[in-house]
Structure 1
Amino acid sequence: MLWGVVHTKGGVGKTTTSLYLALAAHRRGVPVRLVDADPQASATMWASAAVRAGHPLPFAVEPYSGAPRAKSGELILIDTPPGQADVLQEVLDCVDVAIVPTAASPMDLERVWPTLEVTSHLPTVVLLTQINTRARLVAELRELFEEQGVPVAENFIRHKEAFKQAWGTTPADLAGYGEVYDEISEALKWH
């Protein structure tokens, strides 16, 4: 199974989402790899820093070199770059699902729509990230997307300073990504 973590804008949490979902899969006994398709190589740098700190990630992080192939029972998460249409399209042509993390800022939300246009040919779910705990905002965002027929993950990721501090480590707390992983996995069983 291949999951693409995509958004045409940077800074919305693609690398964090990719890494935490890979960690959630690993903790559930699923063989997993993270493929870093972003030229900034943030996931690769995170993995290298974790090795230097003496706590390597429990899964491989490898550079993107064309469409990867998953072994039986394996999950591959692909962390994509913002604004590189050729790489993004190549990734979207090989994945089984697109996960579109987005923060609640007007700019991030505005850029979701072009992203959804390029993912329209495959199952796609919007994941609300960096959300303050205001339940009303989450409900409003969910309603905004659902009115347009866009699936939104029931679970969302709260804004936490701990995400910044987790860079270069193997995070102990999945901070909501375990529930997101379970939700997406369960939904895909029905497709």
Structure 2
Amino acid sequence: MAQGSRLPAEARRRQIIEAAARLVLEQGYPPLAPGRIAEAVGVSKALIYGYFPDQHALFNALLAREFAALDAAGLEAASQATTLDAAALGCAELYFRHVCDHGPVIHVVLRDIFMARRLDPGLAAVRDRVVRRLARLVRRELHLPPDEAVAAITLATTIPEDAGRLVWQGDLAPESGLELCRRLTAAAILALRPD
């Protein structure tokens, strides 16, 4: 079906979200000019606004898509592992593979001040549930205070994110990226273990 032709509402919505994902990765930050999105989809700006009244709604929908893909891949289950090593390595591998396949969309959107206070509460709850589980393991096994546990998780997230980004960009072979991700995640945990 040609761009701009009549699509069912859900298909058009997915098309707009996909275009926004490509464009935000290309640009490196939100927001996007509505005209760019409309041009990429082959529709009018008015149609874009008909689906997403503002860019916060669009980027929340994009994050919802990304979080759903991570959930389908097993992130929730990986975060429920009983040891820090198993949980951290499982989550890191899943996130690495996601970034390899989809690019660092989550990072670009969540780290931007444009979205900082406009993240959908349901999406924040999903993110925070996984972080809380990992933080409990960090506190229990590494004996870090709560704020340092969350900081450690935030910093450790950059390992699969950057390794995946390098694979996604074509700068690193997938097998090498995965091995690097595993080794650096394990090393980060080991470096924080009490002597």
Whether TM exceeds 0.5 here: the answer is no
Which has the larger helix fraction?
Answer: 2
Normalised by the length of structure 2, the TM-score is: 0.30
Normalised by the length of structure 1, the TM-score is: 0.31
**Whose Rg is larger?**
2
- Higher RCO (Cα < 8 Å, 6 or more apart): 1
